[in-house]
Structure 1
Amino acid sequence: MASAHTQSRVPKACDPCNRRKVRCNGQQRCQQCEHLDLLCTYTENRLLRSRKHSVRRGAVISKYKSADTKHTTQTPHLSPPAPSASLQLPTSYYESLLPAYMSYVYPFSPIITESEVRTSISKMSTEREHAAFIYAFTAVTLDLTRSSQRTKSSPQSASTQITELMRQSVETQQPLVIGFRPSILRATTSIFIQMCAMSLGHYDLGFFHLREAISMIQMLRIGDKTVNAGLSTAERARRQRLYWQCFIHERFMSIVNFSPVTLPPHSQYPEEDTFVGADIQQGWTQVIKTFCMLDASFISLWIGDRTQVAASWVERKHRELDDELWEVEVSALSELQQADLVITRQWMRTLLWQMAMSNCLLSSHASCPSLELEMPLRLSSQLRQFMTKISQNTIRVHGSSMVSKLLEIVNTIADVVIHVPQATREETTSRIDDIVFMQGVVLPFNNLQVMSKDILLDKFRLIRGRFPHIEVAMQLAV
């Protein structure tokens, strides 16, 4: 009788163990293959398993490691994980979002076209990358168009849906392993997740996914003219737009989060692309020109030592921002594009004024408007005149970036109203009237963070208390 310690004989060894003539424990992935990281297979072909056809052990290990690497990196037609109950959505639902995507997302992220989205929808049941993109596409489209809605058919809040879609997108993606190859679709997915994370107030998570997208465009060598010379004009232009989008998002996050930047400006604006409308191309070029003003010196002074801010530098930046030709060019764009560009310029003027104030460069009789104490009050009047001409929904569809810019502007205006010496009753009334108007614009944003809202409301209460004799002050939120 065999002892209790006698190892039972395995009826069939795996192919690598059989050909190397080593003991196999017969498991689905045997101990030997697990140890050597080999592709563990079992075959019924007696000829392949015979001693006559055996080969050297080293060759077997090399062969099965090669096969295992190929299997891991290519992952052909990998089905994504089954979506959770909240994401059991029909194809028609994703397709129904395309008009909103093309109207509100694509003009500011002109990378993945409508036909390419449809292709991803058709492939999402069989390929991870396409499924992950569609979840991110759905999340960002909902974020920019339906973030303030609740419907009977969708009792969950929009933020809950967006969070679930983000999670599904991340979990569906192919892992970043050795042999991973980045793609334009994967980079765009990361950008969409970053946009949603920012909207939900998860700035660190947004920073991570933006850096992931930046890493991919660097791996794709989009900034290398030699690499991209062989591409079609349309594909080269699309990659250039992707590069600039990462550049713009990184500059914005640098201001909001005081984080350093890694991407320099691309060597050129995106080439003309017949597949992208002229209006989108013109608007996109204006956005690029605007964010190029946040150059290395601006970022360095904003996040670093502001005692180095000089009056001459402030004056030069003011001239860049006060471009009459720019105003003419922007006036020809759509209302949606104008809202983004005009408010972004006013936001940058506010930042410039704050930097001048930090180094005590302001006065009541400065030669440059950006060095005057009351400059934010003039901005509030200009901004109000512009915003009364456009739809409030036009402002809200820009999402979290618009919220951040408007908050910076309104907080600065409120500080000036509170701290700058009192003017005449008429001027004070006008200032507070502008604040009341801006309050009505900012507070209804669904994704306004609690802390930001509380800070703003505290300032509004302070204004009410300081100017009780001004009738419009009583309209400020309690």
Structure 2
Amino acid sequence: MASPTSQRVPKACDACNRRKVRCNGQHRCQQCEHLDLLCTYTENHSARSRKHALRRGTVISKYKSGTPKSTTRTPLLPLTTSRLPTSRLPTSYFSSLLPDYMTYVYPFSPIITDTEVRHSISKMDTEREHAAFVYAFTAVTLDLTRASQSQSTLTPSTSTSTQITELLRQSVETQQPLVIGFRPSILRAMTSIFIQMCAMSLGQYDLGFFYLREAISMIQILGVDKASTLSDLDITERARRQRLYWQCFIHERFMSIVYFSPVTLPPHAQFPEEDPLSVELGLGSGIQQGWTQVIKTFCMLDASFISLWIGDRSRVTASWVEAKHRELDDALWELEVSTLSELQQADLVVTRQWMRTLLWQMAMSNCLLSSHASCPSLELEMPLQLSSQLRRFLTKISQNTIRVHGSSMISKLLEIINTIADVVIHVPQATREETTCRIDDIVFMQGVVLSFHNLQVMSKNILLDKFRVIRARFSHIEVASQLAV
């Protein structure tokens, strides 16, 4: 067989033919691709004859000067437009979500008030930034309230996940491109955070990581971490930017633990200031107190904790575990949290139990556990104690209160229940009564975790595999038969 280099093409393109160079005959040949020329084929024999041939340099100049490089290239859209295409969803639909937004989203993202959301809705047909935010606001509100939403609240023949995915696409495609002269805004940063939250719920973790880093970049450009920049602002705007900083801080710390990624934001110099005007606009004292408690909780995931979690755990010492346990076991904290709303309590209590589980895992990684330790976080069966405590709390609140916290809540609960299952499987067998109580706690937690709409298939399968082991190992325990397989 002849080698590919020896085969002749039936016809060279116009540019190669006039320059008398070898052409591979493709739709856009190698020569034209290399020189960035228009590649065409014509049947005009006179145009291709030797007497009409031109010097090679002349052909290149002709094809490069003012000639489009491809006849099929899509023209670039303008960076700005006087009027954006009208959304397929009516304005009333976006406005109807505001009560749910203020109830379920705003207490944990207290940056953009309902008044400001209404303003963005009114501007979304003419300004890209406002339109992109409204799409993201709608997506995150649907995501966090879908457990209590009936299908009738959605557009016809559209599942919630499908609608959220479409809203994210619209938000991303509507945003103004980042070009020279771009200056970020609080609204644009919150758009990125809402996209990140929805991406995580949909299992798009890399996308969520990207948009969180985009929001962090914006607050750094805005100088939210600099006291000199904030001092020029009035207290309302200054407090709001402080809350935005802490929002990014909390999300980054959470992603660092779950996905073993490094952190870039240190704690802000101060907690968000209390602003009377913000209280009038929606940030009630209860929301302010709850938000401060969330900040204090995530501050315990300090530099040493993150470094040991994602790095060398052989440096974890018993004294460090004991000190961190004392931070987490704060009686004053329990008293302060008891005055908050059920929604806030659910987030804070589960987060604390999640952190206690992480601390126990780090102690276990360095073989610091024992059956008779002086510190609970160093005890071999400590996760079983957490299981009982968490069950007592969860039985006092509605399941919907847990589910509306979205993907972050399911990640924390999965960490807890997986750890409890591992302990039940691997620790020395206890009495029949103790074993029954342990498995009964797992059965209860199973009902909570499996009720989440956004439980990813891989996470579910890992959990079910452990349930199968428990069912097989403790087949003589009646309650074990209630574990899913």
Q: TM-score, normalised by structure 1?
A: 0.83
Q: Structure 1 stretches of 5 or more lacking a match?
A: 1-29, 33-70
What residue identity is the alignment partner of 1:372?
E
Q: Quick one: distance in 1 between partners of 2:222 and 2:435? A: 55
Deviations 1:321-357 (A, max 9, x none): 0000000000000000000000000000000000000
1:416 aligned onto 2:412: no
Q: What does 1:120-139 align with in structure 2 at a 5 Å threshold? A: 120-139=120-139
Which amino acid in 1 is paired with 2:469? L
1-side partners of 2:105 and 2:131: how far apart?
A: 19
- The aligned runs of 1:252-267 (5 Å cut-off) are 252-267=254-269
Partner of 1:248: 250
2-structure distance, mates of 1:310, 1:113:
45
1: distance between equivalents of 2:170 and 2:376? Answer: 49
Are 1:184 and 2:183 an aligned pair?
A: no
Q: Displacement of 1:211 after TM fit?
A: 0.2
Partner of 1:8: none
2:323 pairs with 304, 316, 320, which one?
316
In the TM superposition, what is the alpha-carbon distance from 1:149 to its structure 2 partner? 5.2
What is the CA deviation profile of residues 72-102 of structure 1, one whole-angstrom value per residue up to 9, with x for unaligned ones?
A: 6xx4x6433555xxxx110100000000000
Distance 1:78 1:401, change over 3 A: farther
Q: How does 1:16-415 map to 2 (within 5 A)?
A: 31=66, 75=80, 78-81=82-85, 83=87, 88-146=88-146, 151-152=151-152, 153-274=155-276, 275=278, 276-415=283-422
Q: Is the 8 A contact 2:148 2:400 kept in 1?
A: no
Question: What SS does structure 2 have at the residue aligned with 1:223?
Answer: coil
- Among the aligned pairs, what percent are the same residue? 81
Kept in 2, the 8 Å contact 1:79–1:128? The answer is no
CA offset at residue 156 of structure 1?
Answer: 1.9
**Greater alpha carbon shift after TM alignment, 125-134 vs 459-468:** 459-468
**Distance of 2:147 and 2:400 partners within structure 1:** 11
1:287 CA drift (Å): 0.2
For the structure 1 residues 391 and 148, does the alpha-carbon distance in structure 2 shift closer, same or farther, using more than 3 Å as the test?
closer
SS in 1 for 2:151: coil
SS at structure 2 position matched to 1:146: helix
Q: Which amino acid aligns with 1:435?
A: I
Q: Secondary structure at the match of 1:259?
A: coil
For residues 250-288 of structure 1, the C-alpha deviation after alignment (integer angstroms, 9 at most, x for no partner) is: 000000110000000000000002222100100000000
Contact 1:418 1:463 in 2 (8 A): yes
Give the partner amino acid of 1:137.
F
Q: Amino acid of the residue matched to residue 222 of structure 2?
A: L
Name 2:61's counterpart in structure 1: none
Residue deviations 1:98-138, cap 9 Å, x none? Answer: 00000000000000000000000000000000000000000
CA distance in 2, matches of 1:246, 1:332: 26
CA distance in structure 2 between the aligned counterparts of 1:81 and 1:97, rounded to whole angstroms: 22
Which whole-Å CA distance do the structure 2 matches of 1:172 and 1:78 have between them? 13
* Structure 1 residue 363: Cα displacement: 0.4
* Cα distance in 2 between the residues matched to 1:109 and 1:389: 25
Counterpart CA distance in 2 for 1:448 and 1:150 is 19
Name the CA distance, whole Å, in 2 between partners of 1:189 and 1:379: 36
CA contact (8 A) 1:150 1:156 kept: no
Separation of aligned partners in 2, 1:154 and 1:201:
25
Cα offset, 1:31, TM superposition: 5.0
Q: Across the two proteins, how many residue pairs are aligned to each other?
A: 405
Letter of the structure 2 residue corresponding to residue 118 of structure 1: R
Cα–Cα, structure 1 residues 78 and 288, in superposed 2: closer, same or farther, change >3 Å?
farther
Q: Which amino acid aligns with 2:449?
A: V
The Cα of 1:154 is off from its aligned counterpart by: 3.5
Assess if the C-alpha contact under 8 Å between 1:148 and 1:446 holds in 2: no
Query: Unaligned stretches of 5+ in structure 2?
Result: 1-64, 68-77
Shift of 1:223: 1.1
Q: Spell out the pairing of 1:418-437 with structure 2 (5 A cutoff).
A: 418-437=425-444
Partner of 2:34: none
What SS does the aligned partner of 2:300 have? coil
- SS of equivalent residue, structure 2 residue 84: coil
Q: Tell me the distance in 2 between the aligned counterparts of 1:137 and 1:126.
A: 17
Return the offset for 1:226. 1.0
SS of structure 1 residue aligned to 2:165: helix
- Per-residue CA distance 1:399-435 (angstroms, 9 max, x = gap): 0000000000000000000000011111101000000
Is the CA contact (8 Å cut-off) linking 2:86 and 2:125 kept in structure 1?
A: no
Structure-2 separation of matches of 1:344 and 1:113: 26
Q: Indicate the residue corresponding to 2:27 in structure 1.
A: none
Query: SS of the counterpart of 1:328?
Result: helix
Letter in 1 for 2:306: I
1:116-167 superposed Cα distances (whole Å, 9 cap, x missing partner): 0000000000000000000000000000001575625532221111011001
Q: 2:471 aligns with which of 438, 443, 464?
A: 464
Report if aligned partners of 2:85, 2:125 keep a CA contact under 8 Å in 1. no
Does residue 442 of the first structure (1) align with residue 449 of the second (2)? yes
Distance 2:385 2:324 in 1: 18
